[in-house]
């Protein structure tokens, strides 16, 4: 059963839920960013600098939290998140390596595979 903040235990993490959370480019970029940072690095939602409202950021981080990708912790008057690297690696071995090697959802909006998927003219 998820804790009072909505974090699932390692055993409750579901691959379909994790993949669904990663399907959004903003959330994918959050995870990509965490993968480039030292383990246990904590960041606030606003520190990512996304051009969206606070309520939209809260929504995205709720999805990341409830999927088990991040853990959020209250730190005084702010809430910080960190990647649940150890839990994810134990539950889905190799997933984080795949994500680290596949930076498709960068904020530039370019998808390296998009040319291959376009219909021939």
Instruction: Report the candidate in 25, 8, 115 with the shortest Cα–Cα distance to residue 62.
Output: 8
pLDDT score recorded for residue 119: 40
Name the β-bridge partners of 43: 81
Q: Are 40 and 82 spatial neighbours (Cβ–Cβ below 8 Å)?
A: yes
In a domain, 70, yes or no: yes
The structural domain count of the chain equals 1
Instruction: Report the candidate in 81, 69, 58 with the shortest Cα–Cα distance to residue 28.
Output: 69
Q: Mean pLDDT, 10 residues at a time, over the chain (121 residues)?
A: 80 96 95 94 94 95 97 90 97 95 56 39 37
Rounded Cα gap, residues 65 and 23, in angstroms: 15
In a domain, 114, yes or no: no
CATH code of the domain in which 85 resides: 1.10.10.10
- 3 state DSSP class of 81: strand
């Amino acid at each position: 059963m998820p804790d009072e903040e909505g974090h699932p235990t390692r055993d409750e993490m579901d691959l379909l839920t994790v993949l669904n959370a990663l399907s959004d480019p903003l959330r994918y970029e959050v995870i990509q960013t965490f993968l480039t940072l030292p383990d246990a690095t904590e960041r606030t939602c606003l520190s990512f600098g996304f051009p969206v409202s606070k309520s939209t950021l809260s929504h995205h981080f709720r999805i990341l939290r409830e999927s088990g990708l991040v853990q959020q912790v209250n730190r005084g008057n702010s809430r910080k998140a960190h990647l649940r690297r150890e839990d994810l690696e134990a539950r889905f071995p190799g997933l984080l390596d795949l994500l680290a090697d596949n930076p498709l959802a960068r904020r530039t909006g370019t998808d390296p595979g998009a040319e291959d998927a376009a219909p021939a003219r």
